[in-house]
Structure 1
């Protein structure tokens, strides 16, 4: 007799190839509409499934986990970030949590460079003029930006993505600086030709561009607060593709309006999905709808990792990408 297949609920539409493979392997309930589940729908899913496959748009807090059914034993997150899941409470309930690290490293690092160029070369302003049909022709002083070559890049968070950004930025001729919870090994630091700053305050005060690449944890919430942002040079640019909560968005908005920062490139936002409305009207701000990992290849590889985590769990083993509370 074949063993009973795991019941799996997927909270959002995933790439077709991923959904098809999940259906082949498990008893899967897929989402018809590509909209986030309501809290009630999440409760229903967690009461009926063996495995829940959520995304960053699903807040799996202690209240939800407290209503989970006895069968729920794995939350296989579709995504590397897991700050939307109360991992500690899940662990207390005997529910494992896994994620999909590493597969979108290059995609996100590419987007960091795109945002750097977008802001420093005033691409948003050029697009706006062209789309409005207002371009009057080339002029020697029109749309003057700044080059990346020779600029100092400060990387906040030198993990996989931070290091991928460093390699790309070096190819543009930038000088690499970084602040990290732990200093890199000498051979890694040497290969990246990166300068370590133990003091984040001292680093941000000297950088031309600051790239935020650290996760959101209790210790990184508003790591870039109003006081620290005030240390940056008025000519500096800030790029955030990590998590919106790391950056005090209201303080950033005030500084951009006052000309105390030269520009910002944002793919993530602190409050909701739209960001501070005032940012949308600023010509020196490039805003994207959380597109850092949005490549067909990356999203498929994320799904493959989810499948491996579930299959390994189904076979009685620890998921290879299990998250533990100490990681937060």
Structure 2
């Protein structure tokens, strides 16, 4: 029986399914693997089930040139924490869990859009503080989302799910920035220039993958182009945003507000960002529903089982 290392606690049904096929070692620590842990994982196990924050970079693979591990079955759709090219050079395949995260992540995007536009986090803090003096006609006036314009950067599965919710749920005009044209069951306008798109939107949503090509894609130029009432939402990866540029835009009221589920140096969130009233901050809740995390885990296990049985990997990166 092949030996499997699971790097974080997972829902029990996932672990049970993995044990059917593998000799499983389950790490109980919820923090990312250390560099030493990753080297040990590559040397001592036939397969590893890693996740966000387990930074299997080129240096890790260089230090273990002939790893026993032949598969990193990533728990999550995003895999920018794994140097796939270095893994393949070392003879290690990489898989992910696409599809399972789509609806849950799109739902969080809508949560952040509503919370930011309607100042929900600010209002909740006011009630908890005991300083709320009661309703009045001009109290905490926010932005109505219905029939506004949403601009989505990245029109993959998640981007399309967000667009669908915006169009059918709120009657919003949908614009998108993407490498290729997408055919959808509703009207959506593709725009070639990200900054030009941001300039005419009421809500700008980041739904692009992480990696070097999208590093600081959302910078001062994008935020300065946005309308003063517009809101910025990020449910993709923290590093796609120049966090200091966003903080400046929020501090100077260049934009109306922001809703963030991810951060550039996660889990570190700058004090300046935490002190702002016009930003909603969530602790990376994108897929944080039990059934979704279980589905993600089961998809990772299916990749692992295919590997153990010498079959084609269902979700090879």
Rounded to whole Å, the distance in 1 between the matches of 2:35 and 2:8 is: 14
Rounded to whole Å, the distance in 1 between the matches of 2:258 and 2:108 is: 13
Report the TM-score when normalising by structure 1.
0.93
Tell me the SS of whatever aligns to 1:52. Answer: strand
In the TM superposition, residue 96 of structure 1 has moved relative to its aligned partner by 0.4
- Is the CA contact 1:73–1:94 (under 8 Å) kept in the aligned structure 2? yes
Q: Which residue number corresponds to residue 73 of structure 1?
A: 70
Tell me the SS of whatever aligns to 1:230. Answer: helix
Aligned residue pairs: how many?
315
Rounded to whole Å, the distance in 2 between the matches of 1:163 and 1:209 is: 15
Tell me the SS of whatever aligns to 1:282. Answer: coil
In the TM superposition, residue 225 of structure 1 has moved relative to its aligned partner by 1.6
- Is the CA contact 1:267–1:291 (under 8 Å) kept in the aligned structure 2? yes
The correspondence for 2:11, drawn from 12, 15, 20, is: 15
The correspondence for 2:135, drawn from 132, 138, 141, is: 138
- Is the CA contact 2:76–2:98 (under 8 Å) kept in the aligned structure 1? yes
Asked if 1:207 corresponds to 2:201, the answer is yes
- Is the CA contact 1:115–1:286 (under 8 Å) kept in the aligned structure 2? yes
Mark the runs of 5 or more structure 2 residues left unpaired by the alignment.
Answer: none
The worse-fitting range, judged by mean Cα deviation, of 286-295 and 218-227 is 218-227
Q: Which residue number corresponds to residue 326 of structure 1?
A: none
Rounded to whole Å, the distance in 1 between the matches of 2:92 and 2:126 is: 53
Q: Which residue number corresponds to residue 236 of structure 1?
A: 230
Q: Which residue number corresponds to residue 151 of structure 1?
A: 148
Q: Which residue number corresponds to residue 173 of structure 2?
A: 175
Mark the runs of 5 or more structure 1 residues left unpaired by the alignment.
Answer: 324-328
Rounded to whole Å, the distance in 2 between the matches of 1:94 and 1:318 is: 15
- Is the CA contact 1:46–1:67 (under 8 Å) kept in the aligned structure 2? no
Report the TM-score when normalising by structure 2.
0.97
Rounded to whole Å, the distance in 2 between the matches of 1:84 and 1:96 is: 14
Rounded to whole Å, the distance in 2 between the matches of 1:36 and 1:266 is: 21
In the TM superposition, residue 16 of structure 1 has moved relative to its aligned partner by 1.1
Q: Which residue number corresponds to residue 57 of structure 2?
A: 61
- Is the CA contact 2:234–2:261 (under 8 Å) kept in the aligned structure 1? yes
Q: Deviations over 1:197-242 (max 9, x none)?
A: 1121211111110010010122111111212221111111000000
Asked if 1:32 corresponds to 2:28, the answer is yes
In the TM superposition, residue 175 of structure 1 has moved relative to its aligned partner by 0.9
In the TM superposition, residue 126 of structure 1 has moved relative to its aligned partner by 1.0
In the TM superposition, residue 13 of structure 1 has moved relative to its aligned partner by 0.6
Tell me the SS of whatever aligns to 2:53. Answer: coil
Misfit runs of 4+, over 6 Å: none
In the TM superposition, residue 318 of structure 1 has moved relative to its aligned partner by 2.5
In the TM superposition, residue 196 of structure 1 has moved relative to its aligned partner by 1.0
Tell me the SS of whatever aligns to 2:212. Answer: coil
Tell me the SS of whatever aligns to 1:211. Answer: strand
- Is the CA contact 1:166–1:192 (under 8 Å) kept in the aligned structure 2? no
- Is the CA contact 2:41–2:69 (under 8 Å) kept in the aligned structure 1? no
In the TM superposition, residue 275 of structure 1 has moved relative to its aligned partner by 2.2
- Is the CA contact 1:293–1:299 (under 8 Å) kept in the aligned structure 2? yes
The correspondence for 1:110, drawn from 107, 129, 136, is: 107
Rounded to whole Å, the distance in 2 between the matches of 1:23 and 1:281 is: 45
Q: Deviations over 1:261-293 (max 9, x none)?
A: 110000011123132221111111000111011
Distance 1:70 1:145, change over 3 A: closer
In the TM superposition, residue 182 of structure 1 has moved relative to its aligned partner by 0.8
